[in-house]
Amino acid sequence: MAAAAILRVRHCGLDIFCRQAPSRCPACGRSLRGAGLAAAPLRLPSPFRHGHRQPRAFLLRPTAGNFLGGYDGKSDLHVGITNSNGLVYNYNEEGVHRDETGWEQCISIPLVQPDMFGLLQQWDQLLEEFSVGEAWLPHRYEEHDHNCYTYALAFINNLLTAQGKEQMSKSEFTEKFVIPQTKQASKYITLHQELAANDFYIVPLPDQEKQ
């Protein structure tokens, strides 16, 4: 079941996060009606996507469970690449899998721009051909050095080479594409956990936003 939306209300120099918009400010008790635009409840966009609806994307999810179901921020993550129909190709000690389910709550990073017509047409064929390579046989798997991330990044680098672009190191790809998304996800998970225990989660606004 999908978690209820997280709302943000601003009042008294505070960010007030909640599941249901309050009629009064939980900090000062004053009515929020007519308190101006800032006090209007704003729905926070979820950083998580249904992976099987994200064509040609790099996906990230916990190896066990899901992000909003008790993820502690330290457990292992698993990555995969979708084809144009949302089939998730991913590699582990059993070899390459083509998952039709199991990636319903992911961080998703699109890999193809709409103007890359050639790549859009060839994507599924390139992904399938890459995935049957000997490098991705089960016995080649190694938890730290030849894993799901190695597989996904090697495919991405294959595409970059074919386009005459420079390959990316793991640290470069992680820093540029993954970390901004996981930071956003981490904040959302914190809010989700706080609101599972309390009606409100209240934090002071940064000084520059109090004006």
Average pLDDT of the chain to the nearest whole number: 91
* Residue 24 covered by a domain: no
pLDDT at 2: 57
* Residue 196 covered by a domain: no
- Percent of the chain topping pLDDT 90: 75
**pTM of the predicted structure, to 2 decimals:** 0.88
* Residue 163 covered by a domain: yes
* Residue 43 covered by a domain: no
- Quote the domain boundaries for residue 72: 48-168
* Residue 30 covered by a domain: no
Confidence of residue 1 (pLDDT cuts 50, 70, 90): very low
pLDDT at 114: 66
63-83 pLDDT, tens digit each: 988 899 878 878 889 999 999
* Residue 26 covered by a domain: no
Q: Rounded distance, CA 139 to CA 52, Å? A: 28
Phi-psi region of 65 (alpha: psi -120 to 50; beta: other; left: phi over 0): left
* Residue 118 covered by a domain: yes
- Across 46-55, average pLDDT: 96
82-116 pLDDT, tens digit each: 999 999 999 999 999 999 999 999 999 999 876 67
118 has a pLDDT exceeding 80: no
- Percent of the chain topping pLDDT 70: 94
Q: Are 70 and 62 in contact (CB under 8 A)?
A: no
Q: Are 123 and 85 in contact (CB under 8 A)?
A: no
pLDDT at 131: 98
pLDDT at 3: 67
Confidence of residue 211 (pLDDT cuts 50, 70, 90): low
* Residue 33 covered by a domain: no
Domain count for the chain, please give it.
1
pLDDT at 53: 97
Q: Are 109 and 52 in contact (CB under 8 A)?
A: no
pLDDT at 71: 84
